[in-house]
Amino acid sequence: DPEPKGEAIPLDVLYEDADLIVLVKPAGLVVHPGAGNWTGTLVNALIHHCGDSLSGIGGVKRPGIVHRLDKDTSGVMVVAKNDAAHRHLSDQFADHGRNGPLERAYRAVVWGRPRQLKGKIDAPLGRAGDRTKRAVKREDSDDAREAITHYEVVERYHEKPDGTSLASTVECHLETGRTHQIRVHMAHIGHPLIGDPDYGAAFRTKANLLPEPARAAVNRFPRQALHAFMLQFEHPATGETMHFETPVPADMQELIAALRAGAP
């Protein structure tokens, strides 16, 4: 059946009114139905929760969906409940906050430590030879699209006398919102996300450099260590600046605690 049905999947709702709903998407939940995931998605949960009060602009498979998070990325999302709200929110995301209050921020746990503790990654992204992966492309490539990420190292783990670290937590602010942007950009500068199966698999053996319990925590971590902790936007009806933050989920808290343990 091409039209998704409502399913009683629990939602962690931060705010809701007649125009929109703000929620925390858990890791492992696909946003909308697609190949291999026709049921059990956020859209199915939203249809059950909201009934008919979801924007239809995204089509029957993506009602109300203004922006997305990867299946294994957790964090704050906003969903439109009518077409006017959807258009207004979509315009904000398309503008990337250049002319309004829209802002998106993430926490990521990465391998190593960027040489510059604060920086800007300006590297166009495009398809990487298959349907799902992305890669940094030359600006003159046919499918290259502007992609800019601002990052800042907020904590370092097992730092050495030469200033390098085995791992770090970074805060990333998006100036654009491309598919897999943070994951590809951090890998591009040599610091892929811990647990990232697509862009960080070559770094898995680095876990052997960690003492216990960090080594075990990294080896069992089942996803990319990425959480969309902050979302800010202009309310489409009132014009009010809406700001939402949510702490990193338990699995990332456990990972960070293990990385801290035994560190000098």
Domain at 233, CATH number: 3.30.2350.10
Considering the candidates 19, 70, 198, 251, report the single residue annotated as catalytic: 70
> What is the residue range of 75's domain?
12-261
122 is annotated as an active-site residue: no
Chain centroid to Cα 71, Å, comes to 9
Whether 5 maps to a domain, the answer reads: no
Whether 204 maps to a domain, the answer reads: yes
Cα→Cα distances 257→156, 207, 247, 252, Å: 12, 15, 14, 8
Q: pLDDT tens string for the chain (264 positions)?
A: 567 888 899 999 999 999 999 999 999 999 987 777 778 999 999 988 887 777 766 666 577 899 999 999 999 999 999 999 999 999 999 988 888 899 999 999 999 999 999 999 999 999 887 767 899 998 888 888 999 999 999 999 999 888 889 999 999 999 998 999 999 999 999 999 999 999 999 898 999 999 988 999 999 999 999 999 999 999 999 999 999 999 999 999 999 999 998 655
Whether 123 maps to a domain, the answer reads: yes
Contacts of 225 (CB under 8 A, 6+ apart): 108, 109, 110, 193, 194, 195, 196, 252, 255
Whether 4 maps to a domain, the answer reads: no
* pTM value > 0.85: yes
Whether 1 maps to a domain, the answer reads: no
Alpha-carbon torsion (165, 181, 139, 175), positive or negative: negative
Whether 2 maps to a domain, the answer reads: no
Whether 3 maps to a domain, the answer reads: no
Q: What angle do CA 218, 174, 252 make, to 5 degrees?
A: 20
Closest CA to 141 of 158, 155, 123, 159: 123
Whether 88 maps to a domain, the answer reads: yes
The total number of structural domains in the chain stands at 1
